């Protein structure tokens, strides 16, 4: 499941960052990352004698408390895990937001003007996949979209842009897999279903706490397809930054702990290639954010 490329790229995750993982449904603090994409982690429920539960979704409303006990957790007994044990860090969010056309070069390649406000859609939660999960390809128009994924911590309504990072728990690498035909099957288009087929929302491999991410406003992204770079950009090129997205979304809806925001993809998607290139069985996507980690998804 994890190839040599992943091996190299997973090392881009800094050892001093506070990193939370969902290991087979249990919340864990990652204390060591191995070149295989696995590593060692501390089970949070066991290490806190039950003060924190095992369910990853229950951590996000207590994120600041959790940050405070990280030194204690680091000193606790750790267990080995492998890449295949990892599940989505926020597996059952109440809301999953997707943002379209949020990089200038991607807006240009799709031939659409730069939007005045964030183009927002939902990915239904049933599309959430494990970070290294296989993606079932049932249609000839499935496309890749590497994205920075932000997971909400405290959340709320009417969050000011200036304090928006404080309401975010952490950052993951995600793929907003998209069925381009279904995405545009109606007029006007409704993206939700085309973005929500089975397995179309892998993210992870873990969640890096925003407080320990020195480059949270400038995250380098790279997506390879079968070893060839197809997307390469930096989140400092986002049209609407993550704090701006949080301020905008929370001006309309309440953001809940553990909500997931797919923040948009840079240029290089398959539909914009000449000729177009869509995903097929046997393809392998490796999506990397420097300082966060890599996810590997095989198309089946």
Residue 66 or 249 with smaller CB distance to Zn ion = 249
Q: Residues with Cβ < 8 Å from 75, sequence gap 6 or more?
A: none
Stretch that binds Zn ion, among 38-46, 59-67, 165-173, 258-266 (CB under 5 A): 258-266
CB of 98 to Zn ion, least distance (A): 5
Closest residue by Cα to residue 173 from 263, 59, 282? 263
Stretch that binds Zn ion, among 63-71, 121-129, 225-233, 264-272 (CB under 5 A): 264-272
Q: Which residue is nearest to Zn ion (CB)?
A: 176
CB of 179 to Zn ion, least distance (A): 12
CB of 101 to Zn ion, least distance (A): 9
Residue from the set 78, 222, 234, 265 that interacts with Zn ion by CB under 5 A? 265
| Omega prior to 205 cis, within 30 of 0 | yes
- Check binding of 143 to Zn ion (CB under 5 A): no
Residue 27 or 223 with smaller CB distance to Zn ion = 223
Q: Residues with Cβ < 8 Å from 257, sequence gap 6 or more?
A: 57, 60, 61, 63, 152, 153, 154, 155, 169
- Check binding of 145 to Zn ion (CB under 5 A): yes
CB of 262 to Zn ion, least distance (A): 5
- What gap in Å lies between CA 188 and CA 190, rounded to an integer? 7
Residues shown for the chain = 300
Interface size with Zn ion, residues (CB under 5 A): 3
Residue 15 or 110 with smaller CB distance to Zn ion = 110
Tokens of 2: 């994890």
Stretch that binds Zn ion, among 115-123, 171-179, 183-191, 200-208 (CB under 5 A): 171-179
Stretch that binds Zn ion, among 107-115, 141-149, 157-165, 248-256 (CB under 5 A): 141-149
Residue 19 or 263 with smaller CB distance to Zn ion = 263
Site for Zn ion in 180-219 (CB under 5 A): none
CB of 182 to Zn ion, least distance (A): 14
Report whether 52 contacts 59 (CB < 8 A). yes
CB of 67 to Zn ion, least distance (A): 29
Stretch that binds Zn ion, among 108-116, 218-226, 244-252, 261-269 (CB under 5 A): 261-269
Residue 80 or 112 with smaller CB distance to Zn ion = 112
- Check binding of 176 to Zn ion (CB under 5 A): yes
Residue 265 or 294 with smaller CB distance to Zn ion = 265
Binding site for Zn ion (CB under 5 A): 145, 176, 265
């Amino acid at each position: 499941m994890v190839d040599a490329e992943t091996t190299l790229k997973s090392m881009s995750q800094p050892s001093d960052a506070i990193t939370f993982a969902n290991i087979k449904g249990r919340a864990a603090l990652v204390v060591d990352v191995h070149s295989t994409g696995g590593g060692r982690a501390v089970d949070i429920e066991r290490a806190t004698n039950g003060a924190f539960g095992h369910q990853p979704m229950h951590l996000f409303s207590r994120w600041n408390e959790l940050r405070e006990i990280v030194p204690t957790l680091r000193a606790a007994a750790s267990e080995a895990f492998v890449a295949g044990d990892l599940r989505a860090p926020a597996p059952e969010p109440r809301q999953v937001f997707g943002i379209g056309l949020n990089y200038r070069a991607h807006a240009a390649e799709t031939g659409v003007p730069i939007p005045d406000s964030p183009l927002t859609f939902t990915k239904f939660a049933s599309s959430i996949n494990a970070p290294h999960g296989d993606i079932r390809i049932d249609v000839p128009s499935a496309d890749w979209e590497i994205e920075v994924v932000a997971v909400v911590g405290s959340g709320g309504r009417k969050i000011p842009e200036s304090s928006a990072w404080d309401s975010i728990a952490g950052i993951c690498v995600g793929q907003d897999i998209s069925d381009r035909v279904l995405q545009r099957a109606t007029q006007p288009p409704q993206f939700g279903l085309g973005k929500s087929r089975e397995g179309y929302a892998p993210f992870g491999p873990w969640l890096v706490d925003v407080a320990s991410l020195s480059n949270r406003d400038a995250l380098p992204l790279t997506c390879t397809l079968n070893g060839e770079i197809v997307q390469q950009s930096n989140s400092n090129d986002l049209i609407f930054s993550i704090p701006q997205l949080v301020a905008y979304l929370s001006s309309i809806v309440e953001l809940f702990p553990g909500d997931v925001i797919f923040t948009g993809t840079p240029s290089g998607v398959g539909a914009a290639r000449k000729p177009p290139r869509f995903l097929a069985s046997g393809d392998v996507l490796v999506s990397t954010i420097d300082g966060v980690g890599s996810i590997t998804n095989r198309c089946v």
